[in-house]
Amino acid sequence: MKNEAFLPEEILWDGEHASELAREAIADLQMDIVPPEVVAHVEGCRHCSLSIGEAALRSRAMGQVWAVAPADSVRLDSEKATYPLPWRALFGALFLGTAGVTPALLALPHFASQVASTASHSVPVVASVTVATAELHGGTVLAVSGTAAAILVASALALLHWLRSSAAASSSSSSSSQSPPESPKSPRSS
């Protein structure tokens, strides 16, 4: 006689022993879903009985762990874990970033004045070269490309000058003498 409330026969056996699912059902005292022949086998088989005993001991140990665990340490998957912001680390990083950018900010007015000085000297030269080139060749394309090239060269020279002066300033600030970097002398002032 086959009872429809019992587990299917193919999942009750694992070779000659009761399957893990059948043993768990017996350990959980769900005898109404396990056929009597499987229960009789488990009661008579040393391997199956020992595995149920080991599972019961593990279950009891886990029950003790859960009983000791604080209630707020157990959270469901639907709850989201919230962690406090690391305020000290954030303010420390902000302070270090500010300290790192301070020398560049202090050198900014000096750099701006150097760019203005370089531009005031180079713009008339670039303009006169552009006009002379345009008059010589009579083409606006040549004049535009010459002007663009001159502006690129002037920008590169200004950037190179700024990089050299900032490198010199950082190397002089790391040495024991704290003298300000000397401004370069233009050829017209000598």
> Residues 147-174: what's their mean pLDDT?
80
% pLDDT > 70, the chain? 75
| Reported pTM | 0.33
**Position 91 in a domain:** no
Residue 150 domain-assigned?
Answer: yes
Does the pLDDT at position 61 exceed 60? Answer: yes
Rounded distance between C-alpha atoms, residue 119 and residue 158, angstroms = 9
Say what the pLDDT of residue 40 is.
Answer: 92
Residue in 15, 14, 26, 20 with CA at minimum distance from that of residue 6:
26
Question: Looking at the predicted structure, is the pLDDT value of residue 76 above 60?
Answer: no
Average pLDDT of the segment spanning 103-118: 82
Percent of the chain with pLDDT over 90: 7
What are the structure tokens assigned to 80, written together? Answer: 């989201």
b/e string for 114-152 if b means 16 or more Cβ within 10 A?
bbeebeeebeeebeeebeebbeeeeeeeebeebbeebee
- Number of domains observed in the structure of the chain: 2
Instruction: Give the whole-angstrom CA distance, residue 158 versus residue 112.
Output: 10
Q: What's the pLDDT band for 92 if we cut at 50, 70, 90?
A: very high
What's the gap between Cα 8 and its chain centre? 51
The answer to whether residue 14 is domain-embedded is yes
Q: Both tokens of residue 154?
A: 């002037």
- Token reading at 55: 């599972």
Over residues 68-85, mean pLDDT? 65
Whether residue 4 has pLDDT greater than 80:
no
Q: For residue 87, is it within any domain?
A: no
Residue 178 lies inside a defined structural domain of this protein: no
Mean pLDDT for the chain?
77
Answer whether residue 85 is part of any domain.
no
Tokens at 170, concatenated: 């950082």
Residue 75 within a domain: no
Range of the domain at 160: 108-173
Which of 43-47, 117-121, 183-187 shows the lowest mean pLDDT across its residues? 183-187
Q: Which of 17, 48, 68 is the last residue of a domain?
A: 68
Q: Give the pLDDT confidence score for residue 77 in this predicted structure.
A: 57
Domain boundary among 68, 94, 118: 68
Q: Taking each helix axis from N to C terminus, what angle separates 140-174 and 87-137, rounded to the nearest 10 degrees?
A: 140
Distance from CA of residue 110 to its chain's centroid? 36
Given a contact cutoff of 8 angstroms between Cβ atoms, the answer to whether 147 and 130 are in contact is yes
Domain check: are 113 and 58 in the same one?
no
**pLDDT recorded at residue 46:** 92
| Confidence band, pLDDT 50/70/90 cuts, at residue 9 | confident
Residue 84 is assigned to a structural domain of this protein:
no
Q: What share of the chain is helix, strand, coil (3-state, %, to 5)?
A: 70, 0, 25
